[in-house]
Structure 1
């Protein structure tokens, strides 16, 4: 995922760019700034891949200063004029930015990163969040002949290289079929999976041994596996703020959300729980750095998932008070109080009541 910040004039209007970036599943938009000095400070603290600039500044001077802090960051200037740069780290796009021309810039950035990263050994990239997709290095998607072929491969991806017994697969995918019919279906489906993978140049991905099926995880890059690795760091308290932000962006797409495999429901609930935990941690980091607006926005996202979450509600009320939005604090308090009584039949925490009274 590409980490980005926006540097803008206080009077400029980058709402369109901001909205496009926030909606992109490939961009982790961290912060917006009005002062270039703040950008230099944040570059020292956080991993930033791209800076979007909508401000009248000395282009080369700014780029020189940025490189002194981070030599790899890409700078994209919004301009009303047609400009070209001989510096590969600088790009110009029109201020009337659209999703299409911004996507071209993002695709070019991703392609360059992938070419520069020689350490990857994967043959296929698998996305489990949102819509389940399997692509090769060239971005060509696997086409599944049947829904069951797609689901079987998704099931094995979910197990991340762990061998799954033939009978268990049959029970999960064809439990209402006769033993003979289910066995035939499994054999045909395995063939269809291998054929779909071979069509995009992926060999030796699906492995069978003595009644068990598994996938060769060494040939696969998977978003769910990456997120689980980051979550383990969070649980051990050795995480980075960048990893939290990236994980939030990925998880909010929903685990197999567009496919809905009933066997994935427990894992989906796990990711949902972790999503709320990550949102809380990220919001507290924003709060610590006095970015109240960003913290409030994140907490609201979390409350769309779990409207009765005590930590999220308490922090949202507290943040409204700290940012001087007393009316919003009272509205949030009253809504939370009402929902607690209606859904759980309990009263609101006395500590929160004191905040509102004071």
Structure 2
């Protein structure tokens, strides 16, 4: 197995080289004092393992690891760090192992046993029963993974920032997003170097979570950009958009099919997460939901099911309390039920809401129609 060593401290580099040469199980094909020089080697010659120092100037080990994965995702990384144990968890997520400086022969032997004695352990871990069952991702109301075999399983995001970074990548999935754009949106108040370090650590947390869930999802990195590539993973938002129909309902069978689509909308897109970058899509999906649900309510009224329509429309008013279209159909439902007290109370409450919240009155067409009913 071929290995290269990357560490900006020459004494540490030479020490590790001596230990590996004395052991003899790996062939050292290059040693470098910067991440950029190591990357140039990997672009020209294949290596199986990279021993990578974390604390390097210009390009630290976390950033270098992203570039290495862009060159060859099969390369296994062993981090070398002077950080104490409390910080290790942030770095080992995407690594085969880590070594604390100064590296000892005994500790290095354990790493080599892991690398050479058990070939490709990471590849075995990537195949899991959950992958065959195709977990899916929900973004309506809140972002979460769902396991069809265990509906009660919870998505354990390491941090709220990990959840937001994944949400952002999912929002643009298939499209490359500049690293600087992610940093600016998620860590706007951080110093650039600290924000980038946080981003790399967060991406490791995300990749670890995806592997734990057996998600057929890959976080790719290239040319200072990230993108999310989805395999066999269902998204509730995409299912909703594909199934959306905005026109009138023509039959009972069509009404039933639409019900399945409307049921996907559990709440606004990422509604529990205050992400400003999601607001435009949030409004677009809400408008689609309201239009489609209104068409279903009209069909229910037309097929003599006013109580069913009223139940639906009351829920819709929670989403858009100022909508004149919703109010009109609510009033029609009350009229079809013969509940004219409910009709009058609802309209008076609606007028009061518009006046107190928006300082306006209902449109003249609707007001004239209400007067005719009375």
Q: TM-score, normalised by structure 1?
A: 0.59
- How far, CA to CA, are the matches of 1:321 and 1:256 in structure 2? 36
Q: Are positions 1:164 and 2:171 aligned together?
A: no
Q: For the Cα contact (< 8 Å) 1:205–1:219, is it kept in 2?
A: no
Q: Are positions 1:221 and 2:266 aligned together?
A: no
Q: How does 1:118-157 map to 2 (within 5 A)?
A: 123-135=134-146, 138-139=149-150, 141-157=154-170
Shift of the 355–146 alpha-carbon distance from structure 1 to 2, 3 Å rule, reads: closer
Helix, strand or coil at the partner of 2:241:
helix
Shift of the 210–277 alpha-carbon distance from structure 1 to 2, 3 Å rule, reads: same
RMSD: 2.8
Q: How does 1:51-130 map to 2 (within 5 A)?
A: 123-130=134-141
Q: For the Cα contact (< 8 Å) 2:137–2:144, is it kept in 1?
A: yes
- How far the C-alpha of 1:259 sits from its partner, in A, is 3.7
Helix, strand or coil at the partner of 2:263:
helix
Count of residue pairs the alignment pairs up = 238
- How far, CA to CA, are the matches of 1:219 and 1:254 in structure 2? 24
- How far the C-alpha of 1:353 sits from its partner, in A, is 3.0
- How far, CA to CA, are the matches of 1:236 and 1:163 in structure 2? 38
Helix, strand or coil at the partner of 1:219:
coil
Shift of the 351–259 alpha-carbon distance from structure 1 to 2, 3 Å rule, reads: closer
Measured against aligned partners, the alpha-carbon deviations of 1:9-51 in whole angstroms (never above 9, x if no partner) come to xxxxxxxxxxxxxxxxxxxxxxxxxxxxxxxxxxxxxxxxxxx
- How far, CA to CA, are the matches of 1:196 and 1:274 in structure 2? 32
Counterpart residue number, 1:268: 282
- How far, CA to CA, are the matches of 1:153 and 1:296 in structure 2? 38
1:279 to 293, 307, 314: 293
Q: Are positions 1:317 and 2:331 aligned together?
A: yes
Measured against aligned partners, the alpha-carbon deviations of 1:285-311 in whole angstroms (never above 9, x if no partner) come to 101111110111111111222222111
- How far, CA to CA, are the matches of 2:363 and 2:217 in structure 1? 57
- How far, CA to CA, are the matches of 2:206 and 2:248 in structure 1? 37
Q: For the Cα contact (< 8 Å) 2:243–2:261, is it kept in 1?
A: yes
Counterpart residue number, 1:234: 246
Q: Tell me, which stretches of 5 or more residues in structure 1 are unaligned?
A: 1-119
Measured against aligned partners, the alpha-carbon deviations of 1:234-268 in whole angstroms (never above 9, x if no partner) come to 37999942343233333243322334333323322
Helix, strand or coil at the partner of 2:175:
coil
Q: For the Cα contact (< 8 Å) 2:216–2:232, is it kept in 1?
A: no
Q: Are positions 1:349 and 2:364 aligned together?
A: yes
Helix, strand or coil at the partner of 1:251:
coil
- How far the C-alpha of 1:204 sits from its partner, in A, is 5.4
Larger radius of gyration: 2
Counterpart residue number, 1:193: 206
Helix, strand or coil at the partner of 2:234:
strand
2:347 to 306, 311, 333: 333
Counterpart residue number, 1:115: none
- How far, CA to CA, are the matches of 1:160 and 1:211 in structure 2? 16
- How far, CA to CA, are the matches of 1:302 and 1:260 in structure 2? 22
Single out whichever of 207-216 and 219-228 deviates more from structure 2: 207-216
Counterpart residue number, 1:298: 312
Q: For the Cα contact (< 8 Å) 1:142–1:199, is it kept in 2?
A: no
Single out whichever of 238-247 and 252-261 deviates more from structure 2: 238-247
Q: TM-score, normalised by structure 2?
A: 0.57
